[in-house]
Amino acid sequence: MSNNDICNVAIIGGTHGNERIGLYLVQKFQQNPTLLLRPSFSTTCLIGNPQACIENQRYIDTDLNRCFLKASLDNNLLVKYEEKQAKALHQQLGPKGNSDTFLLDLHSTTANMGLTLILVNDHSFNLHLAAYLTYRNPLVRVYRWTQADQENAFVSSICQLGFAIEVGPIPQGILLASLFQQTEALIYQILDYLEQVNQGSDLSFPRHLTLFQHLEVIDFPKTPEGELAGMIHPECQGMDYQPLNPGEPLFLTFEGQTLCYDGSATVWPIFINEAAYYEKGIAMCITQKQDISLQHN
């Protein structure tokens, strides 16, 4: 891998105000900056959605993590709280697609996602880092949310380098010590990797990376009026990153009818029954498990 120095790192917590692990980690780092100190780069910690964090709710007016389309960032007529907050973050960290900052955006989920890296591009630096982290920690999984010809609106899309970290399962609005510590340790491991790359160290990791490529989202069964008509089947609940084959149980209606997956091939669902996604009409995200080869420079 070529030695492209990382000079600036940003860590964002509290993009969603009721995801407390990221918020309290950022506050810890702000109070103890030496924890993040590495000789070759500087690290800035930010609270993404301060007002939502005070209210302990996901957002005030709209989901901040969907506010980073270029057209929205350039539109001065968008004045909702999160839309203005997105512009402020973009001004500090952008411009989108041409920023030299390495960005970590910290999230938590009610779904059984473990430690997940969410990549929104195919940058080789991110892929190599993800391979290194999965090699060092088998609990880490990689979810690539890229869609052809579709711009990503996540916070992490501001910067080409970096990604979101999603940890769970954890209920909204609380802390869990185990996930807090695992997330903190993962952050230190990432910072150490960046430091070693800057110093020109020869890092060893596999020549391939297993990742889960986003395919589509699936909604819950609904009535003709759009009301909820069923729930995640017990055999599917909590089975994030496990194969789902055609004909296997997916939903259970309120009348007790099992609805099976009607796809034509095996898929790997994630974000199963995420609480925050009910309003978005998402019961789960469907992925394809892929092994990709990495070139060592």
Give residues with Cβ within 8 angstroms of 147, minimum separation 6.
214
Domain shared by 112 and 241, yes or no: no
Domain contains 2: no
* Residues 249, 147: Cα–Cα separation, whole Å: 27
Yes or no: say if 42 and 54 are a contact pair by the CB < 8 Å rule: no
Six-digit token string for 85: 């907050």
Domain contains 140: yes
Predicted TM-score (pTM) of the model is 0.96
Domain shared by 123 and 47, yes or no: yes
Domain contains 1: no
Domain shared by 20 and 166, yes or no: yes
The residue range of the domain holding 246 is: 215-293
String of DSSP letters for 112-143:
S-EEEEEE-S--HHHHHHHHHHHHH-TTEEEE
Residue 3 has pLDDT above 60, yes or no: no
Six-digit token string for 118: 């969410």
Region for 262 from its dihedrals, namely left if φ exceeds 0, alpha if ψ lies in -120 to 50, beta otherwise: alpha
DSSP single-letter state for residue 277: G
Q: How many structural domains comprise the chain?
A: 2
At residue 141 the predicted structure's pLDDT band, cuts being 50, 70 and 90, is very high
Where does residue 77 rank: exposed (0-12), middle (13-18), buried (19+ CB within 10 A)? exposed
At residue 149 the predicted structure's pLDDT band, cuts being 50, 70 and 90, is confident
Relative to beta strand 8-13, strand 42-47 is: parallel
Q: What is the pLDDT of residue 297?
A: 54
Q: What is the percent of the chain where pLDDT is above 70? A: 98
Domain shared by 193 and 224, yes or no: no
